Amino acid sequence: MYARRRRLYFAMMGTCVGLFVLAWGVVRLWSVPVAVGMCVVAMVIPPLAAMTANRRGPDDRWWDDPSGDRTSDEWWDELDGRHRRQR
C-alpha cells in the first residue's frame, strides 16, 4: 500500500512540475491565459498529492500500534479509555 501511494505522490508532483515548466517555457509563447490556467491547475495538485500520500489505507494501523514501551502504552491506553489485555 505504501509503495503505491508513494508512486502516485511522485507522479502527481512530477505532473505539477511538468505543468509549470511547460506553461512558462513553451505555452506562454502562444497563449499567456492558457499558461496561467495550467499554473492554476498545477497549484491545486500539491495539496491533493499530500492528501493522497498521507491517507490511511484499510490495512494501515500506525496510530494505535503499541510503541514497545509498556508504561507509555498503558498511559496512552488510559487516556484513550481503552483497557489492554494483560500479557
Q: Cβ contacts of residue 60 below 8 Å, gap of 6+?
A: 1
Distance CA 20, CA 41 (A): 9
Mean per-residue pLDDT, 67-79? 80
Whether the CB-CB separation of 84 and 73 falls below 8 Å is answered with yes
Which residue type, as a one-letter code, is found at position 42?
A
Which residue type, as a one-letter code, is found at position 9?
Y
pLDDT at 71 over 90: no
How confident is the model over 13-57, as pLDDT tens digits? 999 999 999 999 999 999 999 999 999 999 999 999 999 888 876
Higher-confidence position of 28 and 72: 28
Mean per-residue pLDDT, 5-18? 93
The stretches of 1-87 forming alpha helices (DSSP H) are 2-25, 32-54, 70-80
